[in-house]
Amino acid sequence: MTDIANARFLIISTDGFEQSELFEPRDQLIAAGAKVDVASPERKPIQGMKHDEKGATITPDLTLDEVDGSLYDALIIPGGVANPDALRLNETAVNIVRDFFDAEKPVAAICHGPWMLIEADVVEDRRVTSWPSLRTDLENAGGIVEDEEVVVDGNLITSRKPGDIPAFIAAIRAAVAEAEPVPAA
């Protein structure tokens, strides 16, 4: 069992993330006492979006190359169209997703974030959900697509859209609470 106040979360993101899908989980987990790091290909500020309008930026805490997945209890992948579309072309980002799966740690992706799951080849025979335009991609990758606000299949947590964020965060918290804690760094 992992106490949320002692948990460590990694969010991977780049330009074009959906603002609410990064900031709301990050801020709520920090408020609960967790440590949350944002990793991106570079340390320069990344641009958030509020649907199709520019939103806030955030400066990553580390680069993807600096990530040591063994230090984290869970991985979060926000959506936004451009964010996962760019990250799925980044071999380091894809390997981070695979490494969390191999370690059987919770991996949570929302909206367009499941594109990263497809690229990492981890959705076959798994129950998943996403933004509607990705559902055929998920089915073609062998996923079992459901239209629910949050779908939990073992260590995999997926949600459809910003309106599902409360259920998404609750599922992340529950998965980490049930997981074995990561040794302190």
> How many C-beta atoms surround the C-beta of residue 10 within 10 A?
26
Rounded Cα gap, residues 16 and 183, in angstroms: 33
Averaged pLDDT of the chain: 95
31-86 per-position pLDDT tens digit = 999 999 999 999 999 999 999 999 999 999 999 999 999 999 999 999 999 999 99
Does 51 participate in catalysis according to the annotation?
A: no
Rounded Cα gap, residues 135 and 153, in angstroms: 16
3-state secondary structure of 147: coil
- Local confidence band at 184 (pLDDT 50, 70, 90 cut-offs): low
- Local confidence band at 2 (pLDDT 50, 70, 90 cut-offs): confident
Rounded Cα gap, residues 22 and 61, in angstroms: 14
Helix (H) or strand (E) holding 76: strand 74-77
CATH topology for 4-178 is: Rossmann fold (3.40.50)
Query: What is the percent of the chain where pLDDT is above 70?
Result: 97
State the average pLDDT over residues 105-125: 98
pLDDT at residue 117, as a whole number: 98
Here the tokens at position 149 are 């606000």
pLDDT at residue 148, as a whole number: 97
pLDDT at residue 1, as a whole number: 65
- Kindly list the domain boundaries of the chain, sorted by start residue: 4-178
Q: Find the catalytic residue in 88, 98, 105, 112.
A: 112
Q: Which residues contact 157 (CB under 8 A, 6 or more apart)?
A: 106, 107, 108, 109, 150, 151, 168, 171, 172, 175
Query: What is the percent of the chain where pLDDT is above 90?
Result: 91
